[in-house]
Structure 1
Amino acid sequence: MTSTSPISTSSTTQRRIVWGVRILLALAFGAAGLAKLAGVPQMVQVFEAVGFGQWFRYVTGVVEVGGAVLLLVLVPATGFIGGLLLTATMASAVATHLVLIGGSPAPAAVLMLLSAFVAWRLRPAPAASAA
């Protein structure tokens, strides 16, 4: 009969939660990025309203798909980088909704917060300073 300590159970639960959020984000950003790259009419219209040109749609699509891939790589550092990249992307999306195109920034804000959560959970450990 084996007993599981509360610390290891909590740690396992926390890892599962972070992985669940990473998978959810990878699916959402992968789908959104591929829609941008494929030229889905709604995406074309949104980026027309932004006013930077369609090249910006392609750049955003590549960033979103790249971030999604980084979230799924098993190395924690890549998940951290992916989380940061997608947090910055969604912060820009929130600002774009508020300043340029209107509409609700809530979906972008939720994705930003979830991406920031992943980046925070996967942040590198502080380096020990030499005394």
Structure 2
Amino acid sequence: MRRVVEILTYILQGILAIMFLFAGFGKVTGIQMHVEAFNHLRLPQWFRFVTGIVELAGAALLIVGYWASTFATAGALIFAITGVGGILSHIRVKDSFKDTAMIIFLTILSFVVLIHHFI
């Protein structure tokens, strides 16, 4: 059973790394979707760039975490904190659950990976 949980955690870790690699790259390069999202959330564009760098760093930590689990713990913690901030940003502008669901989902996955590596 322990081995199954470990394999599922590695899969979740990979999903998070891929999702945040794409999201971070899109934010850093200024893809229109992310520019509009930060405008909608009433956040400055420089914060979009900083968020993108944080997401790319977290994804890199998760990838390195396949060989050294402390890096995966750090990456998952970064994503958990970033996710909570994203959820609060959506709540602040009164977005619908549909618009907030993806960041909620990714934040939950981040906490699952964090808890697995922390234990």
Fold shared by both chains (TM-score > 0.5)? yes
Shift of 1:101: 6.1
Tell me which of 11, 20, 23 is aligned to 1:29.
Answer: 20
- The aligned amino acid for 2:9 is V
1:19-41 deviations in whole A, cap 9, x for unaligned? 00000000001001101111101
Q: 1:69 aligned to 2:64?
A: no
- Counterpart-to-counterpart distance in 2, 1:91 and 1:29: 15
Shift of 1:105: 1.1
1:32-66 deviations in whole A, cap 9, x for unaligned? 11011111011111112233321100110011111
- The aligned amino acid for 2:89 is T
Bigger Cα Rg: 1
If the length of structure 1 is used for normalisation, what is the TM-score?
Answer: 0.82
Quick check: which one's helix share is greater? 2
Give the superposed CA RMSD.
1.3
- The aligned amino acid for 2:12 is V
Q: 1:20 aligned to 2:11?
A: yes
If the length of structure 2 is used for normalisation, what is the TM-score?
Answer: 0.90
- The aligned amino acid for 1:118 is V
- Counterpart-to-counterpart distance in 1, 2:2 and 2:60: 24
- Counterpart-to-counterpart distance in 2, 1:112 and 1:52: 20
- Counterpart-to-counterpart distance in 1, 2:94 and 2:13: 28
SS of the residue 1:52 aligns to: coil
Structure 1 residues 38 and 101, CA gap change in structure 2 (3 angstroms)? farther
1:82-124 deviations in whole A, cap 9, x for unaligned? 101100101111111111262421110000000000000001x
Partner of 1:5: none
Q: How does 1:1-131 map to 2 (within 5 A)?
A: 10-73=1-64, 74-100=67-93, 102-103=95-96, 104-123=99-118
- Counterpart-to-counterpart distance in 2, 1:101 and 1:19: 34
- Counterpart-to-counterpart distance in 2, 1:101 and 1:33: 24
Specify every segment of 5 or more residues in structure 1 that has no aligned partner in the other structure, as ranges.
1-9, 126-131
- Counterpart-to-counterpart distance in 2, 1:65 and 1:98: 24
